[in-house]
Amino acid sequence: MSNMKKILFISLLLVSQLIFAQNFPEPVEKLHKFSGLWKGIITFEILDPTSGNYTVFRLTGDQNCHTDAAGYSIKCEGRFKAIESNPFFETFEESIQGGYSVTEAQIVWAFVYSVGEAGSLTGNWNGNKLELSRTFVRDGITLSDAGSWDFTSTDARDFLAETKAPDGTVVQRISGTLRK
């Protein structure tokens, strides 16, 4: 092997060691907990504003997550199918990308759902629980979303997301437990 090839090989080896030996901030390390294939049942509760009753239905499926952006981000694709008949949808798909903003010192979580909803939430870790929120306007009404992902063990995480009206009424709740 020529000297130039040896230098190039050693340089590539050193650079790859630096990349893989990178120390991430703690919030980024915790984001890596999302990596893997997660399966389970999620429950939707949607308020009927006319009757004041909730339509409750369950979906089963999976969410596949992997790190991205040199490890500073997590990308998840979810696919769920209704267990019971419901008036809203038979399948629910989601595309999520969450990352840590070093300059803002917070998690930024962007999502797109197959029901035509997209948005972003921000927040941070509280122990082993990721807590995110946002405020947005739909049909002229200011609503708020709050979501949490609680890693109860290395192979299970509980999920809860609520959308609330200005008076605090929960208009939509999604909850469940996913397992590796």
State pLDDT tens for residues 1-17. 566 555 544 444 434 44
Q: Please check whether residue 10 lies inside any domain of the structure.
A: no
Range of weakest confidence among 11-25, 35-49, 106-120, 130-144:
11-25
How is residue 90 annotated by DSSP? S
Q: Does residue 152 belong to any structural domain of this protein?
A: yes
| Mean pLDDT (whole number) for 108-122 | 94
Q: What is the C-alpha separation between 83 and 24, in angstroms, rounded?
A: 40
How confident is the model over 140-156, as a mean pLDDT? 92
Q: ∠27-29-30 over CA atoms, to 5°?
A: 65
Return the pLDDT at 23.
87
Q: Quick one: which of 50, 48, 81 has its CA closest to 172?
A: 48
Mean local confidence (pLDDT), 138-163 = 93
Number of domains in the chain: 1
Per-residue pLDDT tens digits for 39-69 = 999 999 999 989 999 999 999 999 999 999 9
What's the pLDDT tens digit per position in 21-42? 568 999 999 999 999 999 999 9
Domain-located, residue 6: no
8 inside domain: no
pLDDT at 113: 94
Round the average pLDDT of the chain to a whole number and report it. 89
In a domain, 32, yes or no: yes
Residue 11 lies in a domain: no
Asked if 117 and 96 touch (Cβ cutoff 8 Å), the reply is: no
Distance CA 171, CA 173 (A): 7
Domain residue limits at 144: 24-179
Helix (H) or strand (E) holding 16: helix 3-20
User: Is position 128 within any domain?
Assistant: yes
Domain membership flag for residue 175: yes
Mean pLDDT of 171-177: 96
Q: What is the rounded CA–CA span in Å between residue 167 and residue 50?
A: 16
pLDDT score for 125 = 96
Which amino acid does the sequence have at 91?
Answer: T
Give the C-alpha distances (Å, rounded to integers) separating 30 from 10, 99, 156: 32, 11, 14
| CATH code, domain with 51 | 2.40.128.20
Higher-pLDDT residue of 153, 177: 177
